[in-house]
Structure 1
Amino acid sequence: MHKQTGTHTIETGKQSLTLTPEKPIELDDFLVELDHEGIAYLWFSRRQGANVLGRATLDQLRMILATLKSTTAVKGVIVGSKKDDHFVFGADLHEILHFADETAALKLASDGQQVFNDLADLGVPTLSMIHGPCLGGGLEAALATSYRLASNAPETLLGFPEVKLGLIPGLGGTQRLPRLINLRSALDLILTSSTIGATEALNLGIIDAVTSRDELLEKAKSKLKEMIGGEAPPRVAPQEKPETIKKLFATMERSFRIRFKNHYPAPFKALESVRKALESDLQEGLDFEAHAFAGLAAGTTSRNLIQIFFSQDFITRSAERSASKFCPKPPQKLGVIGTGVMATEIVRVWLQNIPEAEISAKASNDERAAEFRQHFSDYENVKVSSEMSILKDCQMVIEAIVEDVEKKQKVLAELEAHVSKECVIATNTSSLELLNLGQELTKTDRFVGTHFFYPVDKMQLVEVVSHPNTTPRTSACAMSLLSAMKKTPLSVKDSPGFLVNRLLTVYLMEMGRLWQNGFTLHQLEDAAVRFGFPMGPFTLIDELGLNLCFSVAHELSRNFGERFKAPQSMFKVWEVGHAGKVDGKGFFLWDMSGKKLGPCPDVLFEHDIKNEAVKLSQSELDELQRSFLMPMLDEAARCLEEKVVRKPREIDLSMVIGTGFPAFTGGPLRFADHLGIPEVLKSIETVYARTAFNLERRPCELLYSMNESGRRFYSSGNA
Structure 2
Amino acid sequence: MSDLIHYRLEDGLALIGLAHPPVNALGQPLRAAIIDACERAAADERVEAIILYGEHGMFSAGADITEFGTEASFAEPDLPSTLVRLTQIHKPLVAAIGKLALGGGMELALACGYRIGEPSTRVGLSEINLGLLPGAGGTQRLPRLIGAESALNLILSGQQIDAERARMLGILDRIATAAEQLLDEARAYANELIDYGAPARPTEAWPEPAEDLPGDFLARYRTEHEPRWKSRLAPRLVLSALEAACLLPLEEGLARELALFKQAEASRQSKALRHVFFAEREAGRIPGIGADIALRKVDKVAVIGAGTMGGGIAMNFANAGIPVALLELKGEALDNGLMQIRKNYEISVKRGKMTAEQLEQRMDLLFGTLDYNDLADADLVIEAVFEQMEIKQQVFRTLEKVCKPGAILATNTSSLDVDAIAATVSRPQDVIGLHFFSPANVMRLLEVVRGKATAPDVLATTMKIAKHIGKLPVLSGVCFGFIGNRMLEPYSREAHRLVLEGATPAQVDGVLTGLDLNMGIFSMLDLAGIDVSFLIRDSNRAAIAHDETYCRLGEELYALGRYGQKTGRGFYLYEGRNCKEDDEVVVLAERLADELEVPRRSIDDQEIHDRCMFMLINEGIQLLDEGIALRASDIDLVWINGYGFPAHLGGPMHYAEQLGLDKVLAGIEHYRHVLGEYGQMWFQPAQLLERLVAAGNTRIEII
Which residue number in structure 2 is paired with residue 258 of structure 1? 227
Which residue number in structure 2 is paired with residue 70 of structure 1? 43
Which residue number in structure 2 is paired with residue 234 of structure 1? 203
Contact 2:446-2:473 at 8 Å conserved across structures: yes
Contact 1:316-1:483 at 8 Å conserved across structures: no
Contact 1:461-1:487 at 8 Å conserved across structures: yes
Which residue number in structure 2 is paired with residue 216 of structure 1? 182
Tell me which amino acid in the other structure corresponds to 2:168.
N
Contact 1:127-1:146 at 8 Å conserved across structures: yes
Identify if the C-alpha distance between structure 1 residues 366 and 636 changes in structure 2 by more than 3 Å, giving closer, same or farther. Answer: same
Which residue number in structure 2 is paired with residue 205 of structure 1? 170
TM-superposed CA distance for 1:328, in Å, is: 6.5
TM-superposed CA distance for 1:51, in Å, is: 0.7
1:603 aligns with 2:578: no
TM-superposed CA distance for 1:462, in Å, is: 0.7
Correspondence for 1:97 among 69, 75, 81: 69
TM-superposed CA distance for 1:419, in Å, is: 1.2
- 3-state SS of paired residue (2:39): helix
Which residue number in structure 2 is paired with residue 20 of structure 1? none
Correspondence for 1:118 among 67, 85, 91: 85
Any gaps of 5 or more consecutive residues in structure 2? 343-359, 592-600
Which residue number in structure 2 is paired with residue 6 of structure 1? none
Identify if the C-alpha distance between structure 1 residues 608 and 299 changes in structure 2 by more than 3 Å, giving closer, same or farther. Answer: farther
Which residue number in structure 2 is paired with residue 248 of structure 1? 217
Which residue number in structure 2 is paired with residue 351 of structure 1? 318
Alpha-carbon distance between aligned partners in 1 of 2:404 and 2:78, rounded to the nearest angstrom? 62
TM-superposed CA distance for 1:73, in Å, is: 1.3
Correspondence for 2:125 among 142, 150, 160: 160
Tell me which amino acid in the other structure corresponds to 2:187.
K
> 1:417-460 CA deviation, whole Å, 9 max, x = no partner?
11112211100000001122233222211111000111223322
Alpha-carbon distance between aligned partners in 1 of 2:69 and 2:255, rounded to the nearest angstrom? 22
* 1:429-468 equivalences in 2 (<5 Å): 429-468=413-452
Contact 1:656-1:662 at 8 Å conserved across structures: yes
Which residue number in structure 2 is paired with residue 33 of structure 1? 8
TM-score (norm 2): 0.90
Identify if the C-alpha distance between structure 1 residues 260 and 507 changes in structure 2 by more than 3 Å, giving closer, same or farther. Answer: farther
Tell me which amino acid in the other structure corresponds to 2:53.
G
Alpha-carbon distance between aligned partners in 2 of 1:143 and 1:111, rounded to the nearest angstrom? 16
* 1:188-587 equivalences in 2 (<5 Å): 188-211=153-176, 212-230=178-196, 231=198, 233-237=202-206, 244-262=213-231, 264-316=232-284, 325-327=293-295, 331-353=298-320, 355=321, 357-375=322-340, 378=360, 379-555=363-539, 557-562=541-546, 566-587=550-571
Alpha-carbon distance between aligned partners in 1 of 2:536 and 2:451, rounded to the nearest angstrom? 19
- 3-state SS of paired residue (1:562): coil
Identify if the C-alpha distance between structure 1 residues 565 and 430 changes in structure 2 by more than 3 Å, giving closer, same or farther. Answer: farther
Contact 1:109-1:170 at 8 Å conserved across structures: no
- 3-state SS of paired residue (2:180): coil
Contact 2:692-2:700 at 8 Å conserved across structures: no
TM-superposed CA distance for 1:75, in Å, is: 0.3
Which residue number in structure 1 is paired with residue 689 of structure 2? 703
Alpha-carbon distance between aligned partners in 1 of 2:292 and 2:336, rounded to the nearest angstrom? 37
Tell me which amino acid in the other structure corresponds to 1:206.
I
> 1:330-380 CA deviation, whole Å, 9 max, x = no partner?
x11110110110101111111112x1x221111021211222343457422
- Greater Cα shift, 418-427 or 241-250: 241-250
> 1:657-683 CA deviation, whole Å, 9 max, x = no partner?
221222222222222222222211110
Contact 1:260-1:532 at 8 Å conserved across structures: no
Contact 2:553-2:589 at 8 Å conserved across structures: no
Alpha-carbon distance between aligned partners in 2 of 1:372 and 1:530, rounded to the nearest angstrom? 38
Identify if the C-alpha distance between structure 1 residues 259 and 565 changes in structure 2 by more than 3 Å, giving closer, same or farther. Answer: farther
Alpha-carbon distance between aligned partners in 1 of 2:209 and 2:89, rounded to the nearest angstrom? 30
- 3-state SS of paired residue (2:106): helix
- Greater Cα shift, 702-711 or 288-297: 702-711
- Greater Cα shift, 237-246 or 141-150: 237-246
- 3-state SS of paired residue (2:151): helix
Alpha-carbon distance between aligned partners in 2 of 1:553 and 1:251, rounded to the nearest angstrom? 47
Correspondence for 1:169 among 110, 134, 139: 134
Alpha-carbon distance between aligned partners in 2 of 1:599 and 1:109, rounded to the nearest angstrom? 58
TM-superposed CA distance for 1:608, in Å, is: 9.7
Which residue number in structure 2 is paired with residue 134 of structure 1? 101
Contact 2:499-2:589 at 8 Å conserved across structures: no
- 3-state SS of paired residue (1:533): coil
TM-superposed CA distance for 1:238, in Å, is: 8.3
- 3-state SS of paired residue (1:589): strand
Identify if the C-alpha distance between structure 1 residues 128 and 120 changes in structure 2 by more than 3 Å, giving closer, same or farther. Answer: same
TM-score (norm 1): 0.88
Which residue number in structure 2 is paired with residue 5 of structure 1? none
Alpha-carbon distance between aligned partners in 2 of 1:468 and 1:111, rounded to the nearest angstrom? 50
Supply the RMSD in Å over aligned alpha carbons: 2.7
- Greater Cα shift, 320-329 or 631-640: 320-329
Q: Percent identity?
A: 28
Tell me which amino acid in the other structure corresponds to 1:708.
A
TM-superposed CA distance for 1:226, in Å, is: 0.8
Identify if the C-alpha distance between structure 1 residues 549 and 243 changes in structure 2 by more than 3 Å, giving closer, same or farther. Answer: farther
Contact 2:4-2:18 at 8 Å conserved across structures: yes
> 1:150-179 CA deviation, whole Å, 9 max, x = no partner?
0002xx211111111011111100000001
Which residue number in structure 1 is paired with residue 345 of structure 2? none
- 3-state SS of paired residue (2:179): coil
Alpha-carbon distance between aligned partners in 1 of 2:220 and 2:397, rounded to the nearest angstrom? 58
Contact 2:618-2:685 at 8 Å conserved across structures: yes
Alpha-carbon distance between aligned partners in 1 of 2:550 and 2:147, rounded to the nearest angstrom? 53
- 3-state SS of paired residue (1:463): strand
Alpha-carbon distance between aligned partners in 1 of 2:564 and 2:550, rounded to the nearest angstrom? 16
Tell me which amino acid in the other structure corresponds to 1:464.
V
- 3-state SS of paired residue (2:203): coil
